[in-house]
Amino acid sequence: MKAYYDLHIHSALSPCGDNDMTPNNIVNMSMIKGLDVIALTDHNSCANVRAAMAAAEGKLLVIPGMEIETSEEVHMVALFPNADTAEEMERILRASAPEIKNRPEIFGNQYIMDKNDEIVGEEERMLVTASGMDIFSVVDSVSKLGGVAYPAHIDRSSYSILSNLGFIPPELKIGTVEITEKSRDKMELDYNKLYNIVTSSDAHYLWDIAEKGRYFELDELSAAGIIERLK
C-alpha cells in the first residue's frame, strides 16, 4: 500500500503553534488532505500525543513524536513506537538541562489538550529551547527506546544540522534526513545516496499540513514499520 504521510506537525502545545492546532482539527484536516499517517512533533514535549492518538482512532495513524532541540540547537524529529516510550524520552530530555519558564505573552501559550480538544493544562517550562543532549545522545537514546531520530529541515538556515554544524558527521548513526519541499529537488540527488529522505510540512497552522503527495510503500501501516524504514 501507499501510505501518504506528514511526519512533522506541531499542535497548540508548541508556543509557535496556532491555537487551532487541536488534536481533532489536526486529525480531521489530515483526513481531508487524504493522509494515512501523521506524526505529532511538538518542541521537546509529547504532552498532546495521547489526545491526538485517541482523536485519530479509526481514522488514521498518529505516530508519537517530538521535535527535539539538541545542545547544538539542532532540531531532530524523533518518532516512537508508542506513547510510553515517547514520554520516557521526554523525561530523559527534561532531566538533561535546567528548565526555563515560558513567557506566554512573548512566546505564545503551550496548551495541553484532551481528546475532545478541551484545554486541560498549560506547560509552564519553555519548550523551544536547547536541551542538554547532543545529537549523538539524542539518536542513541531514541534508538534504545525503539524509536528513530533524524535531523529536521536540514536545508534551513537556522536550527538545522547543516546550518549549525556545517556538515552531517559521518559517524552519526542516522538513516534519514528531512528536507523541506522547497529544497527537495535540488538536494535529493546528493543526499539519497546516503540517506532516506523525508519531506514533511512542519505545520504550525492547519492549512500548512501536507497535501497528499509524499508516501511510503508499505506492506502494512504501523508506527513500528515506518520507524524501521527510517532507521
Positions touching Zn ion (CB under 5 A) are 67, 75, 152, 202
Grid cell locating 96? 538533561
Among residues 72 and 228, whose Cβ is nearest to Zn ion?
72
- Residue 157's identity, in one-letter code, is S
Residue nearest to Zn ion (CB): 75
Among residues 187 and 221, whose Cβ is nearest to Zn ion?
187
From the list 40, 15, 77, the residue with the least C-alpha distance to 209 is 40
- Minimum CB separation of residue 77 from Zn ion in Å reads 8
Among residues 90 and 202, whose Cβ is nearest to Zn ion?
202
- Minimum CB separation of residue 19 from Zn ion in Å reads 17
Among residues 69 and 87, whose Cβ is nearest to Zn ion?
69
Among residues 109 and 222, whose Cβ is nearest to Zn ion?
109
